[in-house]
Each structure stands twice: as structure tokens, then as C-alpha cells.
A and B are shown apart, each in its own frame.
Chain A
Amino acid sequence: MKNSRRKFIKFAGMAALGWSICPSLAGARSGPRQSADRLRAERWAMVIDSEKLNDELMDKCIEACHKLHNVPDIPNDQNIKWIWKEPFYNLFHDQSHGYLKDKKSIPFLSLCNHCDNPPCVRVCPTQATFSRDDGIVLMDFHRCIGCRFCMAGCPYGSRSFNYYNPRNFLDDDDLVHDYPTREMGVVEKCEFCAHLLDQGEMPACVEASEGAILFGDLNDPNSDVRKVLQERYSLVRKPKLGTDPQVYYLI
């Protein structure tokens, strides 16, 4: 009896030790939820086809994104925007001229460019914003101290800060529970729907765009995005800054 109890404690101790060293062996899950058919890429990129997009489609994209990510609708300049409409001139003022065929005021979609050389990641003092291996620039809402250096660093105005408690502007009944709401005082932005990709789904705006937004692996020569960029003329925003934006606009 004594002997077996001693053995049991020994075994339990070893098991606990083993578990603490390698929790996955005991079936404990670590890291983000990932599906077996997770979408992978070496370099995710987005191609927005301005010929196919229209006002209505853009609204659908915005609606899909903001709904999915519990983005509050705040009616002043302390608002939150992940993807939004912006006139061509405002996005491409360094690549336009006065006689551009009525493109000047045409709205385009604007979002985080997921730069290959992102200034926001460089300036963040806590690595709360970081680049994933597949090029997606993400935010750790729990590490961000709210210094807003990334907002000064972003040349595209793609980042929003939670001046308010965003939960005050969200309706409890409409909340999407697959994605966290944020708290006051942290920065947020488009994440190329990294959590959807990890579950094998395409980004929400891509799904809502009815084919006007392409999304794929730029390092794969056979991907849609690579092919269409070779076939058609496209722009990126502020290329001279060397940030290497990964959202391309077909013109």
C-alpha cells in the first residue's frame, strides 16, 4: 500500500513536470486557434480592382469588415476606421495631376497596407504591433500602451486609436463573439483578417467584394494576385517612402 502510494506520487510528479515542459503532449492547446485547412502564404497581398468596385460594393466591404471586427461607429473625428472610402486624390495625390479623367473625386477603398517595411512596427516601443512571417502586420491589443507613435509613423493614416471606450458604441445584441472588442486607450487597424485565414477563410472584405478584391500569395508565381499585377497597370500608395505597401490598386 505504502509502496504504491509512493509510486503514484512519483508518477504524478513526473507527469506534472513533463506537462509543464511540453504541454502539447497532454493535449493542452497553446497559441491561436488554427484549423487544419489554414490558409498559408509566404507574402499575403491584396489587389483592389478599381474598375470592378463601385460605391455599393465598397459599402458592403466596409460593413462586412466593421461588423466582423466589432468596430464601433463613433460620430466624430475620434472615430475608428479599418477600411473606408477615400477619394482618389487623397490616396494618390503624389501620383495625380489636375487633368486626370474624373478620377480625382472617385472614392477608393483605403486600409492598412501591410507594408513589407512597416514604419509602425519599427517605432512601436513594446512590439505590440509586429509583422508576421507571411507579411501581415498585427496588433497585440493587450500589450499596446497607447503611445500612438505608430499613428505618427504610419504614412497612410491607417491606424485608429480608441479615444473612447469602444464598448459604449457597440450594441450588445449585434456583437460578433469570434473577435474581441477592444478597450479604451489602444490602437487598432486592419489585420488582413489573420484570424479568418488561420481558420481557412478569406478576409471579410474580399468575400464581400464579389471578385473586385483579390487576395493571395505574392511569392507564388501562379497566384491570382501575381498574374493580374503582371497583366494590368496598378498603383501602390506613396511608393517613394520605401515602406513597400502590399495593397495594390488596379487602375
Chain B
Amino acid sequence: MLEKAIKGSALYWIWLLVLLAVIGVGFGAYLQQLDQGLSVTALNRDISWGLYIAQLTFLVGVAASAVMMVIPMYLHNHKAFARMLILGEFMAVATIIMCLLFVVVDLGQPQRLWNVVLYPTPSSVLFWDMVVLNGYLFLNILIGWVTLQAERKRVGPPRWIKPFIYISIPWAISIHTVTAFLYAGLPGRDFWLTASMAPSFLASAFAAGPALLILLAFAVKIFAKWDPGREAIQSLAKIVTYALAAYLFLIGCKIFTAAYSMVPDKLAHWEYLYFGLEGHTMLSVFMWVSTAAGVSALLILLFPKNRQADNILAFACVLVLISTWIEKGMGLITAGFVPTPMKEVLTYAPTGPEILITLGIYGIGFLIITVLWKVGIGVRREIEAT
């Protein structure tokens, strides 16, 4: 089936070249980081995780969200997703690979990565994160490829694949739960030390993932002239709406707990996030954008008429992505570190190399999505032409 990836229009090849250029620049920046160490980043003694780990956190959610199509399709026989499911699974593959790359570029000694396998440590959540992320990657490659191949041969998927599909459902939940537990179990970080971490991770994931999928589906409709189906997109839009409401609700719950209890250790992080402390206000500007974007998106999506208009739906999905990306990709990590254990307040602003490496990895992700979707859509077209 892979041969479908090497036959494409000029536009397809130009897009791939653009992505390769972005990847090349990112790789160059990574070589600089390998040479000079993480000193090229804005990370420091107090804020020891930043842009890379934040992207990991955001993208694990996007990857997990494939389950929002698997559940309706396989547990509720919601056939509308039949055509599009493969796109969700392939997006999960690409995002998990991005996640793993973000872990690797964050390491001080990437060549020692294998130590995690050589000295397995069940007490470390990072060990489990490695297990579940790699497992989920394997599951999605397997399920995606086998079901697509079966479809191509005009037969039902083999029976042995069913258990893997069912396992992939709790497994998807597990990847984002374990990722939340990376943070939620640390005694000295009050901002993260809350049972609502995993639920709020899942809620934002199930809003952001399907929102991205809707936007990519529109892109496919325009550039590849292949329509994933109106009903599938409308179902996804409903999922985004529910998940977005849950995500905003959980943020509200967290803010209430901190604000009403007035426990300084809890409250200070939220004050830093939304108002800034001691003149460090850079993050708060973004956080207001995040909240405003999230609330507006919900107000738009609540009305069925808005969801049914492609343009408005696309706009709302962009707002959802802006809101969740700022919240996970910027706010969550930094605010967990600031105020520091010594009650110091700092600002973290990623450096040029950090941003280039991050863009490079996104380039790799989009390259994988493009190639896999090309294959998936190519096969779908083949089936539908006959």
C-alpha cells in the first residue's frame, strides 16, 4: 500500500519539501543542542522542564483522542466513522512519534535512553509512560494497517484484530492518565498535586484531538478532494463540544479550590498564571487568550447551527486548539515550577533553538500524517471507485 505515498500531485511534493525544509532547520538546531547541551534552551535550575515536555503533554492528548472515534464505531456501531477512522488512527501514530521525539530532545544524555529499558523501574511514572506510549504506537500501527489492508482486499478485518481494537480503548485512556501522573504525584508541586489532573488532561485531549482532526479533514477535502463525510465531522463536532465544556468546567473546579481555600501554596500558581507575580506577567497575557478562546469556542459550538456551518466550525476548532495548546503547551508546565520551592518567581520564554527544534518535530509529525493519510485516502478512493 505504501506505493500510494510516492505517487502524488505537484502540490503534495511541494508540501513534503516544505516540511523537509522545516525538519532540516530543526535538525540543525538539534545538532547545536547536542554540541552545547541544553544550555541553548531557556530551561534553568528552577524551571527544568519547558517547551519540549509541554508539547509531549499536549500531543499525548491528541494521540489519545483517536479513541473518541473507536468507541462510537466499535462499541456503538456508529458507522459514520467507518471511512474516517483510519485517519484518526494514523494521526495517533504521527502524534505518538512526535511525543517520543520530544522526550528524546529533552534528555541531557539521549544516547543513554536505553537505560530506561536496561534498568526497568516500576516506581517511576516515566518508565510507565514509556511502556504505554510505545504500546499505543504499536497498537495503532497494527490496527490501522491491518484494517486498511483488509478493506483494500474487500474483506472484513480479520477476527484476531478485534481484541487489539478493544485493548486500544483503555490503552488510549492510559496514555494520557499516565502522562498526567508524571505531574500529579510530585509532593512539592502544589499546582500539579491534584486528583483532577488526569480527568482534565483527558477532557482537554478529547477537545483538542477531534478539533485538529476536523481541521485536517477540511484540509483533505480542499487539497485532496476527498470528503471524509459530513456525518463523521458533525459527530466529531459534538464530541469537541462536550469535551470542551468538561475541560473548562475542570479548570473552573481547580480555580475554585485554590481561590476559595486561599491556601497560598495553591493560590500563588493561579495568580502567577492569570495575573503574574512580582512583575512576571508574560504568561498571563497568553492565559487570558487561552481562556477567552476556550469560552468563545464553547459559546459558538453550543449552537447546532454554528456547528453545521463548515466555516464557523473550522473557526471554533482553531479557537479550541489555541485554548488547549496555550493551557497545556505553555501554562501548565511553567506554572507548576513557579513559584519555585524557594518561593521565587521567574519567567520562562523558550529560546530560538528550542523553538526551531520544536517546529522540526512538528514537521516530522505532519510529514508522517501526510504520508500515512495519502496511503489511507488512496486506498479509500480505490475502494469507492469500484
A153 interfacial by beta-carbon distance below 8 Å: yes
The reply to whether A146 and B119 form a contact with Cβ atoms under 8 Å apart is no
The reply to whether A125 and B108 form a contact with Cβ atoms under 8 Å apart is no
Interface centre among B45, B107, B127, B182 (most CB of A within 10 A): B45
Which residues in B have their C-beta under 8 angstroms from that of A186?
Answer: 108-109
CB distance from B195 to the nearest CB of A (A): 17
Which residues in B have their C-beta under 8 angstroms from that of A165?
Answer: 37
A91 interfacial by beta-carbon distance below 8 Å: yes
Which residues in A have their C-beta under 8 angstroms from that of B37?
Answer: 162-165, 184-185
The reply to whether A154 and B130 form a contact with Cβ atoms under 8 Å apart is no
CB distance from B269 to the nearest CB of A (A): 14
Which residues in B have their C-beta under 8 angstroms from that of A152?
Answer: 48-49, 183, 186, 189, 336-337
Interface flags, B91-130, vs A, CB<8A=1, else 0: 0000000000001001111101101101101011111001
Which residues in B have their C-beta under 8 angstroms from that of A81?
Answer: 45
Q: A125-B127, A127-B121, A157-B340 known; A78 and B186 CB under 8 Å?
A: no
Instruction: Name the interface residues of B311-366: CB closer than 8 Å to any CB of A.
Output: 336-337, 340-344, 346
B188 interfacial by beta-carbon distance below 8 Å: yes
Q: A122-B123, A126-B116, A126-B121 known; A78 and B188 CB under 8 Å?
A: no
The reply to whether A123 and B124 form a contact with Cβ atoms under 8 Å apart is yes
Q: Which of B43, B115, B130, B186 is close to A153, meaning CB atoms less than 8 Å apart?
A: B186
How far does the alpha carbon of A201 sit from the alpha carbon of B130 in the complex, in Å?
42
Q: A126-B121, A238-B188 known; A93 and B343 CB under 8 Å?
A: yes
Instruction: Name the interface residues of A77-92: CB closer than 8 Å to any CB of B.
Output: 77-79, 81, 86, 89-91
Q: Please name the residue on chain B nearest to A148 by beta carbon.
A: B48
B265 interfacial by beta-carbon distance below 8 Å: yes
Instruction: Place the interface of chain A in its size category.
Output: 35 or more
The reply to whether B45 and A145 form a contact with Cβ atoms under 8 Å apart is no
How far does the alpha carbon of A165 sit from the alpha carbon of B33 in the complex, in Å?
12
CB distance from A122 to the nearest CB of B (A): 5
Which residues in A have their C-beta under 8 angstroms from that of B158?
Answer: none
The reply to whether B38 and A163 form a contact with Cβ atoms under 8 Å apart is yes
Interface size on B, residues (CB 8 A): 46
Which residues in B have their C-beta under 8 angstroms from that of A41?
Answer: none
CB distance from B104 to the nearest CB of A (A): 10
Instruction: Name the interface residues of A149-208: CB closer than 8 Å to any CB of B.
Output: 149, 151-157, 160-165, 184-187
Which residues in A have their C-beta under 8 angstroms from that of B271?
Answer: none
Q: Please name the residue on chain A nearest to B116 by beta carbon.
A: A125
The reply to whether A86 and B342 form a contact with Cβ atoms under 8 Å apart is yes
CB distance from B245 to the nearest CB of A (A): 30
B310 interfacial by beta-carbon distance below 8 Å: no
- List 28 A–B pairs whose Cβ atoms lie within 8 Å, in order of A's numbering: A78-B43, A78-B44, A81-B45, A119-B186, A122-B123, A123-B123, A123-B124, A124-B124, A125-B115, A125-B126, A127-B119, A144-B108, A144-B112, A145-B108, A146-B107, A146-B112, A148-B49, A149-B126, A152-B48, A152-B49, A155-B186, A157-B45, A162-B37, A162-B108, A163-B39, A184-B37, A185-B38, A186-B108
For the complex of A and B, list the 9 residue pairs with the smallest distance between their C-beta atoms, beginning with the closest: A146-B108, A155-B188, A185-B108, A77-B44, A184-B37, A125-B126, A163-B39, A125-B124, A90-B342
10 other contacts beyond A148-B48, A152-B186, with CB at 8 A cut-off? A77-B45, A122-B124, A125-B124, A147-B103, A147-B107, A155-B188, A164-B39, A165-B37, A241-B187, A241-B188
Q: Report B's interface with A, CB cutoff 8 A.
A: 36-39, 41, 43-46, 48-49, 103, 106-110, 112-113, 115-116, 118-119, 121, 123-127, 130, 182-183, 185-189, 265, 336-337, 340-344, 346
